[in-house]
Structure 1
Amino acid sequence: MDLRCWMTNLDHCIRKIPVIYLAIPGSHDSMTFSINRSSGVAPDCEKAVRLFLKLGPLAKRVVIGWSVTQTLSVTEQLNHGIRYFDLRVAKNDKDDKFYFTHGLYCQHINGGLNELSEFLAENKKEIVILDFQHFYDFTFDDHQKLHKDIQMLFKNKICPFPNKICTVTLDWMEKSSYQVVVIYRSDAGIGQFWPSDSFPTPWPRKTETRQLLPFLDSVLARRDKCCGLVLQCVLTPDNGFVICHLCGNLRESCAKPCLHGVLPWLNHQHAGMEHENPGVNVIISDFIEQNNAIFCKNVIALNNRLSNIFVNTPD
């Protein structure tokens, strides 16, 4: 499987299936790979964590261990098959610029977005879904500026929100020269961007896989056939969990056991709309490179079954 070009290599009949019925691997808190010891405290940092950070460098090291969810750069994630990016943005008062964030400031947004643009320029049949999930310390003018920055960078590659979401297929996007779907989860979202309800993303808030899997099943059972869906295959440590695993980190204490439990569940899923059973769409995970990117490979492989399945798309 060529993860870098997996969409390009899909069977032609699959490229005619609505994007909301494809199985697409994504990364959770996609830009946290750039967090390091020099990263400043961001607006989304909880009060308890801010107080803990005052204890010094050792506390900062602990916080980093629970803030970083990805170790691969944007280009490396793309090369591993990731096509959905979970983005949280904050304004930094020190320079009045926008940064990605997860408790601590990540890189400036231009860095990651430029990498995405360069990849798309080299891979015309690949698309990405950019999900701007949260905005911190944003004014209406800030939203206007971010809109302009996104539009200036991706220009005609941005796929406008359609009247019927089921008309958006990889084949149609290629013919229209569209490569970017921008989901903008704010009332300030305007223009070409897709609204939040076009891709629901229920948050599990679970600390154990045995609680996570029933949640995912219940979300799938209620899936709206006329919308996309983001399934979060991640565990969410609360403050109590972190205190009990203070010498651990998110990768060892959450991501590894989560992947171990999710893979068997994932192998029983399907893409598309098989009869009346809703299939998966976007599925996100932490540390997507684990076990030689087995998560990405298994999600993408679900699409190979579609060529032998009648996909019932609503009118």
Structure 2
Amino acid sequence: MPIRGKREVTSYCDWMSQLPPQLHNIPLFNLAIPGSHDSMSYDLDINSSIIEPNGLKRLSKIYCIREIVRRWATTQEETITNQLDAGVRYFDLRVARKPNDTDPTRLYFYHGLYTRTDVETVLRVMNDWAEKHPKEILILALSNFKGFDKNNEDKLHSHLISFIKTLFGAKLRERVSHREIIPTLKRCWDKGTNVIVSYDHPAQQHFELWSKIPYYYSNSMDTTKVEMEIRRVLETARPFQCFFVCGLNLTLPSNVKILLYILRFCDNFANVVQRSLPRLLRWVKQQGRKTPMNIVGSDLVTRDDFVSTIVNLNTLKNVKA
């Protein structure tokens, strides 16, 4: 249905509540939602050991190597609160446990290095924000779970899931089990449920937690390949009645070609993304008119009108009910 008499979003801090009434009753799977890739990478700890890539782990004691890893692993530059205030609603949260941590259940996020801030502290910040913005739906995708070995895996998962359920409580939107409860903005508002947690571990499924949300990306530094892969997904393989992410993010090579990037001592990943993001957003505007997008993930989500571009897709396109 075409969106007529549309209202203009004036504050991306509360953009969902400002969408036209026609969009309040469509599935959240059919809304265009801004998301951040490796959401906690702004918080990487230069003093932590290297967690990836595997080939550099043994060089963790060398400061300049850790600095190179941080420069090329930092995909976001603003805090979680600032990302939320900017309008980001999907968060890619990769969880890890530090070896030999004195606290047996303390967890961190990671991307190349561990973060300085632990998981529970960050989730509390997100819960506080959700409390103050009850009409904004947050989608938290927890994944990877590095360092969860056979000896502590069950205990760590049980502790983290229990913490999530206790912290968010009645705000948690249960996963879809039949068509009648497919989430919409209005259904979430009516029930007071504005937090969706995706937990990517098949052995740890609870009705309060959603399973893995598919994340499609090109695994390339070439923007043309990024566009081609997302177009392929949208035109031939879009999931039906579930959340899915189109990742605009660039990906460093996993082979020796990575040296072409990390040996540029006056460059970093943020600069590379900054050079490519405007083109990708122009493509998103064009493609979004043809094929509906759901979550769109990106690096540097607070730059280059990323959030406004994705949010505006909701009123530029024909939305399927």
The residue that corresponds to 2:210 in the other structure is: 194
What SS does the aligned partner of 1:37 have? coil
Structure 1 CA distance for aligned equivalents of residues 249 and 154 of structure 2:
32
Q: 1:242 aligns with which of 258, 267, 274?
A: 258
Query: Does 2:104 match 1:94?
Result: no
Q: 2:270 aligns with which of 251, 254, 258?
A: 251
Structure 2 CA distance for aligned equivalents of residues 225 and 269 of structure 1:
19
Alignment of 1:135-284 (within 5 A): 135-138=145-148, 139-164=153-178, 167-191=182-206, 192-196=208-212, 199-221=213-235, 222-239=237-254, 240-245=256-261, 246=263, 247=265, 248-253=267-272, 255-270=273-288, 278-284=291-297
The residue that corresponds to 2:42 in the other structure is: 33
The residue that corresponds to 2:24 in the other structure is: 15
Q: Which amino acid aligns with 2:253?
A: D
Q: Which amino acid aligns with 1:167?
A: I
Q: Give the unaligned 5+ runs of structure 2.
A: 1-9
Structure 2 CA distance for aligned equivalents of residues 119 and 228 of structure 1:
22
Structure 2 CA distance for aligned equivalents of residues 217 and 264 of structure 1:
14
Deviates more, 1:75-84 or 1:233-242: 233-242
Q: 2:58 aligns with which of 12, 26, 51?
A: 51
Deviation at 1:38, TM superposition (A): 2.2
CA deviations over 1:97-117 (Å, ceiling 9, x no partner): 111111211120022111111
TM-score, structure 2 as length reference: 0.87
Do the aligned residues in 1 keep the contact of 2:49 with 2:60 (CA within 8 Å)? no
Do the aligned residues in 2 keep the contact of 1:161 with 1:194 (CA within 8 Å)? yes
Deviation at 1:229, TM superposition (A): 1.3
CA deviations over 1:207-230 (Å, ceiling 9, x no partner): 210111101100111112322210
What SS does the aligned partner of 1:8 have? helix
CA deviations over 1:247-304 (Å, ceiling 9, x no partner): 2211112x12330321111111338xxxxx641000011111223xx11110011112
Deviation at 1:58, TM superposition (A): 1.8
Query: Does 2:128 match 1:122?
Result: no
Q: Which amino acid aligns with 1:48?
A: G
The residue that corresponds to 2:7 in the other structure is: none
Deviation at 1:52, TM superposition (A): 4.1
Deviates more, 1:84-93 or 1:255-264: 255-264
Do the aligned residues in 1 keep the contact of 2:32 with 2:313 (CA within 8 Å)? yes
Deviation at 1:164, TM superposition (A): 3.3
Do the aligned residues in 1 keep the contact of 2:32 with 2:311 (CA within 8 Å)? yes
Structure 2 CA distance for aligned equivalents of residues 164 and 81 of structure 1:
29
Do the aligned residues in 2 keep the contact of 1:234 with 1:286 (CA within 8 Å)? yes
The residue that corresponds to 1:274 in the other structure is: none
Structure 2 CA distance for aligned equivalents of residues 208 and 28 of structure 1:
17
- Classify 1:244/1:4 alpha carbon distance in 2 versus 1 (closer, same or farther; 3 Å): same
CA deviations over 1:47-83 (Å, ceiling 9, x no partner): 21223444x2222211110111111111000011100
Query: Does 2:272 match 1:287?
Result: no
Deviation at 1:312, TM superposition (A): 3.7
Q: Which amino acid aligns with 1:51?
A: R
Query: Does 2:122 match 1:108?
Result: no
What SS does the aligned partner of 2:218 have? coil
The residue that corresponds to 1:302 in the other structure is: 313
Structure 1 vs Structure 2: percent identity of aligned residues? 28
Do the aligned residues in 2 keep the contact of 1:53 with 1:63 (CA within 8 Å)? no
CA deviations over 1:5-54 (Å, ceiling 9, x no partner): 10111112211111000000010000111113223333xx2221223444
Structure 2 CA distance for aligned equivalents of residues 49 and 203 of structure 1:
24
Structure 2 CA distance for aligned equivalents of residues 3 and 241 of structure 1:
39
Structure 1 CA distance for aligned equivalents of residues 257 and 274 of structure 2:
15
Q: Which amino acid aligns with 2:270?
A: R
TM-score, structure 1 as length reference: 0.89
Do the aligned residues in 2 keep the contact of 1:204 with 1:215 (CA within 8 Å)? yes
Deviation at 1:148, TM superposition (A): 0.3
Q: Give the unaligned 5+ runs of structure 1.
A: 272-276
